[in-house]
Amino acid sequence: MRGAIKLALWTLAGLCMAGPLAAQDAGPSTDTADALYCAERKLGYWFYCVRPTPAPRDAEPQAPPSATEELDAITGTLRELKAQAILHPTPDNVAAYIRFQREQLDRASLFSDVWQRALWQDPALDYTLERPVGALAKKQWQDTRAAERDVAMARLSERYGLFYFFAQTCGACEVMSPIVKAVASRWRITVRAISTDGGPSRHFPDYSVEKGQRPRMGLEPGITPAVVLWDSVGKRPIPIGYGVLSADELQDRIYLLTSKEAGHDY
């Protein structure tokens, strides 16, 4: 009986003494535990003394540079090499610039070659089919166009007339007056010649003196010679041009302004 009591007392004392220590050791830090179990006791990998390294996260794939960014980069490199060659004209700098520039010239030549091949193979892209540049095709196109223009000009007098503003003291008017008269006579277009300074014209003896017609037509004041087409149906002026024009150019302008919408012949 005494032995049992003594054992109980020893147990109780041990618990009382262990209480504070247990309280102190209840939550050792991770670093302290690592030092105790891994450094001092050397328990090895089974106790995770060497912590597993997390697998690296895959970097997000970067989008490739756009064509615009690539071209900007090439332009920037070319400018930089050129600046280096000019500011520091060593053989290496000059050679680097020439070499890179030659690469870009080759690139431009390739682009030009592919461009031409694309035009040959796709007629919708070839503007020369509408406006030829070759001598033979251009001559045929001009003849066809002239025939169309002549048909339109032959009917012009049914609807249109001409106002021709001149001045006696205007040297250009002496050149332009016979041209206007010849074109009007060929297509039987009525011309009303108006003197801006009151002086006569030997080409248009039946002239009249200006009395504010130009401002009412919205024309630039003081500029002679000036040719204006008058639309008798629409009751509106159509300025043709100022200064000296050849007969062919004068007819071409009249034809375009009366027969073609903007954007359909260029």
* Tens digits of residue pLDDT in 83-124: 999 999 999 999 999 999 999 999 999 999 999 999 888 988
Band of residue 254 on the pLDDT scale cut at 50, 70, 90: very high
**Closest of 100, 125, 80, 128 to residue 108, by C-alpha:** 100
Can you name the residues that pair with 57 across neighbouring β-strands? none
Please indicate, yes or no, whether residues 168 and 222 belong to a single structural domain of this protein.
yes
Provide the pLDDT confidence category of residue 222 given band limits of 50, 70 and 90. Answer: confident
Which range of residues forms the domain containing residue 99? 68-120
Same domain (yes/no): 113, 142: no
Identify whether residues 150 and 247 lie together within a single domain.
Answer: yes
User: For position 252, which CATH number holds?
Assistant: 3.40.30.10
Structural contact between residues 190 and 157, judged by C-beta atoms closer than 8 angstroms = yes
Q: Looking at the domain assignment, is residue 201 inside a domain?
A: yes
DSSP tag of 25 = T
Same domain, 144 and 108: no
2-42 pLDDT, tens digit per residue, is 554 444 444 444 444 444 444 444 444 555 555 555 655 55
Coil, helix or strand for 61?
coil
pTM, 2 dp: 0.56
Spatial contact of 196 and 219, defined as CB atoms under 8 Å apart: no
Q: Which pLDDT does position 41 carry in this prediction?
A: 55
Is residue 163 within 8 Å of residue 194, measured between CB atoms?
A: yes
Residue 36: predicted pLDDT: 56
